[in-house]
Every structure is written in structure tokens, then in C-alpha cells.
Amino acid sequence: MMDQLFEYGFDIDKIQREDNEKYEKSQKSKYLNHSKSKKIKDIPISSNVPKVPKDISFHLKNRKPIEWVVDSFGAKGACLILAGDKGSGKTSFLYRLAEAVSSGEKFMMELETIKKKVLVWQADESTNNALNKLHRMDIKSGFDIVFKEDGWEQLNIKKLREHVEVNKYEVVLIDSISTLLANRGINFKDMEVAKPLYELNDLASELNILIIINSHLNKEDRDEVNLNDLLGSGQISSAVSDIWAINKARIPQFDDHFIVRCLGKRNCDDSILWNLQGSYEDLSWQIKTVGDDDLLPSKKVEYRLRILRLLNENPRGLHLKEISLKLGCSLKTAQRCTTQLISQNEIGRKKRSSNGGRPYYLYFPLLLGH
């Protein structure tokens, strides 16, 4: 044992073992670092690099004003759901909407439309049933339609995108999303149901088109429809731009009384409730009356035009109370009409301070550039 020691008492073998271990560790470390650097170097850099954050003023310059394809109902760049019970008229509602938009005529005798090229995707009804319904409605031409029997039985967003881009469709009406997803084995109770809806919403936004989806309600015993009545409401309500409902009136005020209401989200006003009268003869629709504290859509258009004229006559600006008094309408009506005109970039406004009270806005003609 003593032969293995230096005169200073060091164990030579032990020192050698430790040196060898240190060397092996250092070599291993160099190899790993070299491998990591090589792997990192070999990984292709994504072209989808996040953009540098910028002040909101920069982005607001690129804001697109709301453009209603169907006044107060459907806007460009939006994906909305029209939910209803079986037999509530969802399909004929879509066909009449397609007819109105493809010709640029009023929808339901009240709603202004902008003429657009329309595609109807019919997955609920058979081809012959759909054609018989269109014949009964006296719709002979005007928009394109595809059927489930022709290879459109499942939701294929890639295929839809291709057809929209090639054929320049600006409005797509789908009847119904429930059937298309069921044919893919997706149940509305599944969490994955939201993913294709998000994709449709993204498609509408990216291509700046309007997509309207028919869907079903989950029960029929109710006084009025709300968000909780939507089939798969927990998953789909956050995946689309707007949600509307159509149902037969529980206590009808007239023959063939149906109700269409906005359940809210981004574009539509959740105070909107339209009492519709259907027609058994040709499955047409007419807005007869509206909900409390609301106006017929045509009356709102009239007030918006009057506000534009009024502000042109008062270029220094008017506040809401002045607009309300001069037009002889309620403050709420003036507020709703000016809000829509602001969203469409048709008028401007400036905030003004009051003496210790809440600030108010002055509304003015946009072209004057206050």
C-alpha cells in the first residue's frame, strides 16, 4: 500500500482514475454540445415569424368598416349560425336569402342587400326534395347549389376554399352543419366540434366573405330561444361571429307566425327580434313587426339617412340628445343608428368633456375631417 503513495501521501491510482473520468466527461460534454448545435443549425427556420408589436393607431388605419351584405343580419367577413328546430323554416329562410342577395333585392320585404354571387351547400335534404322545394318557392335561377349526393356529404373546408376562390363566391350558405359534421363522425357534444367552426370563421374572415350555417336546437320545450338552446352551445358559441335563432311563435299573433332573433356576439344587435309571417303557398317571408323598443329595419334605414342629412346641415357637430330631438325619435334609436353609421365609416365623432359630468360625443360628417 505504501508503495503506491508519493512521499507526500497521494494515491497515484486514485488520481489517475479521477483524471480519466474528468477527461471522459469533458469529451462527452463536447460531443453533446456539438450535436445540439448541429441539430439547432439543421432545423429550418419558420417563415411564419411573429410580427413586431405596433401601436393600435397603426392597426386602426387598416380597419375595415362593417359592410352588411344583408342589412343588420349578415356582414362580409363573418360566419354566423342560424339555429332552429325541425320545421322552423331554416332551409326556406336560406333559399329566400340566397334569392335576394343574388339579385340585390330586399330580403323579407325589409332588409336591404348587396348583390353577391351565392353558393348554397345542401346536405340535409336529398337532391329531389330540395328541387321540389325550390320549385314550390318559384325559384328558377340566380345562385349555385351543390348536394350531398354529388360528393358534398362531409365538411371539407379545403375543397370549399378551392371552389370559393375559383368561382368567386362572396356568400356561402350551408344547410346544415349538424349533418356535415355527423357524416364525419363528429357529435355536437364532442369538444372537437368547435374546430371546424373556427376554421369556417377563419375562412370567412380571410376571404372577406359571408358564411351562414344552419344548425339545430337541442330541445323544443321553451318559451323563447337563448344561447343554451343551441346544440353543442358550449363549444360553438365562441367559434362563430354571430348567432341567430328562428322558431315558431309559442303564442302566435297571426297566421304562420315565426320569430327570428339575434342572440348576440360581434356584429348583430342582440336587441333585434323580428316577427315573421311565413307563407304556406310559396314559403316566402315577411317581417310584420319587431320587438319592444325597436324599429322596422326599413325605418332604421330612413333614420340613418336623415341623420346623415342632419349632420351635413350642422357641420360643427351634434350630440345624441340634439339628434334625437331634431329627428323626433327616442334617444336609444338615435344611439343605435349613429353607432351603425360609425361602424360603417359614414360619420365621425369627437369626445367632449362636460362640467364635472360624463364626457359626451359630438357627431359630424366624416368628410369634413374634424
From 260, 275, 293, the end of a domain falls on 293
- Using only C-alpha atoms, the chain has a radius of gyration, in whole angstroms, of 31
- Banded model confidence at residue 169, pLDDT cuts 50, 70, 90: very high
d(CA 363, CA 343): 13
> Structure pTM?
0.81
Q: How many domains is the chain partitioned into structurally? A: 2
Do 330 and 257 fall into the same domain? Answer: no
pLDDT at site 39: 44
Do 329 and 248 fall into the same domain? Answer: no
Q: Which residues lie below 8 Å from residue 184, measured CB to CB, with a gap of 6+?
A: 154, 155
Do 153 and 261 fall into the same domain? Answer: yes
Task: Read off the CATH number of the domain in which 353 is found.
Answer: 1.10.10.10
d(CA 365, CA 314): 9
- Residue 348, domain member (yes or no): yes
For the beta carbon of residue 96, count every other beta carbon within 10 angstroms.
Answer: 19
Do 180 and 315 fall into the same domain? Answer: no
List, for residues 186-219, the tens digit of each pLDDT value.
776 667 778 899 999 999 999 999 999 998 887 6
Domain that holds residue 124: 68-293
pLDDT at site 25: 60
- Residue 350, domain member (yes or no): yes
* Signed CA dihedral, 287, 82, 246, 180: sign only: positive
Do 127 and 274 fall into the same domain? Answer: yes
Do 211 and 327 fall into the same domain? Answer: no
Do 110 and 230 fall into the same domain? Answer: yes
Cell 367577413 belongs to residue = 77
Do 226 and 313 fall into the same domain? Answer: no
Do 268 and 337 fall into the same domain? Answer: no
* Signed CA dihedral, 116, 119, 125, 130: sign only: positive
List, for residues 270-283, the tens digit of each pLDDT value.
889 999 999 999 99
Chain Cα centroid distance, residue 88: 23
Do 341 and 244 fall into the same domain? Answer: no
CA angle 288, 289, 295 (to 5 degrees): 130
- pLDDT (average), residues 123-149: 96
